Amino acid sequence: MKQQAFYPLFCKSQQYAWGKFGTNSIAGKLWSSNQDKSLDSNTPYAEFWVGDHPNGPSKVEYNSKKVTIPEFLSQDLSLLGSSILNFTNNEPRLPFLLKVLSINKSLSIQSHPDKKLAKKLHSQRPEIYKDPNHKPELAIAITYLDAFVGFRDPIEIYNNLMHYQPCKDLVGVEIVNNLKKQISNKDGKAVSKTLKEIFKAISTAKADIVSTKVDELIKLIHNKPENEYTSDDKLILRLNKQFPGDVGIFLTLLMKYCHLEPNQAIFIGPNTVHNYLAGEIIECMATSDNVIRAGLTPKYKDVEQLIKMLDYDILDKPTKQIMLGVEIEKGIFQYQIPVQDFLVQIIKMKKNQSLQLPTSHSSSVFLLLNGKISNTDLNEKKYSPGTVWFIPQDSEITIYSHDQTVLAVQAMLGKK
């Protein structure tokens, strides 16, 4: 096969209930442009996928047909490059999935297993855990992201239990009193054990009891003047409209809230409880389906497994860090993460500039988010937002901006 500098990809949209509708969705608009299809104002366009995940594989036009990335790469493995082939044991696939998410309402409260647990769960219950891989994630805000990631400071958890009586009722007075003593004694192991007991008490409570306690919680908030509502009060009311009576409403009182502005990012490793609430983001992850849920979802919940696996070590532990990309070259911002499965770079260009894309250590995928570009020279075809390329390792590509600023993202294998 004669190697080109890049190969256009035709990518899938995922239409989940939590997505933004029609042209309000960045994910939808990218898909519309990429596929040259119109958007339906009544359809929630939740995600735009770039990669070869079997639930939404991107396709390459080859020999007058559109074939999946593995089918395309199997014709000539050199297109994938030695670094990814070594990582995948010579399988013709990408080890990562790049997405754009447009979030209108809360996703599930969830976590992902590490590799060891993923292999175990896949061997025991392959019908639920469909692969043996871990699923580390990097979320980068395009507009903003509101999310919960990890657990709150234990003092804040204790204060929430005292402030919201229905939540304290679910947990029990003895456990709450234990937490207070352990915080005072700065006993990290005991705090971790008690936090696990608190999470278990809430997440395993019977559905009818939870529903009753949520009703009490809503009445408690409504009894206050509206101008005295806290941020947690407002969020509880919002989540109850989305998932009435759901146990996840109480679990969020244990979880650490974070807000990301454009270009800010957060890395979510294994065994970390989290959920996305609202916003629009770039997300990159290891290719896997392993999600273990506990609330704010109509999907299957494996509460017992989630309780076992979560990281409850929170006393005097650094909070999850919001990060920015490091400018490795002018206009190229790289996000430093602790896994090799993927590496993400944001590309920013001013009007009428040129920039050479980094492609030396790995083949990659490239997604144009904003602006118009050409490659090779300014007289060539202009590419619009929604353009996606597969770029073989060691390709030399220079892109040119025109009369608009450019924002793009490139995902590839991480460096050792």
Where are the domain boundaries for CATH 2.60.120.10 in the chain?
330-412
Distances (CA, A) of 199 to 10, 205, 251: 43, 10, 7
Choose between 174 and 63: higher pLDDT.
174
Q: What is the DSSP string of 76-142?
A: -GGGT-HHHHHHTTT-SS-SEEEEEEEESS---EEE---HHHHHHHHHH-TTTS--S----EEEEEE
Catalytic residue (choose from 93, 125, 238, 293) = 293
Average pLDDT (252-267) is 97
> Tokens 């096969």 — which residue?
1
- In CATH, which of 3.20.10.10, 2.60.120.10, 3.40.47.10, 3.40.50.720 is domain 330-412? 2.60.120.10
- Is residue 152 part of the annotated active site? The answer reads no
Query: What DSSP line would sit under 277-310, residue for residue?
Result: EEEEEEEEEES----EEEES-SS---HHHHHHH-
* 318-373 residue pLDDT tens: 666 899 999 999 999 999 999 999 999 999 999 999 999 988 889 999 999 999 99
Predicted local distance difference test score (pLDDT) of residue 381: 85
Q: Residue 13 is encoded by which pair of tokens?
A: 């949209």
Residues 42-54 have pLDDT tens digits of 999 999 999 999 9
Alpha carbons 7 and 400: distance in angstroms, whole number: 18
> What is the DSSP pairing of strand 65-68 with strand 59-62?
antiparallel
Tell me where in the chain the CATH 1.10.441.10 domain(s) lie.
Answer: 149-309
pLDDT reading at 408 higher than 70: yes
| CA separation for the pair 234, 237 (Å, rounded) | 5
Name the class of domain 149-309. mainly alpha
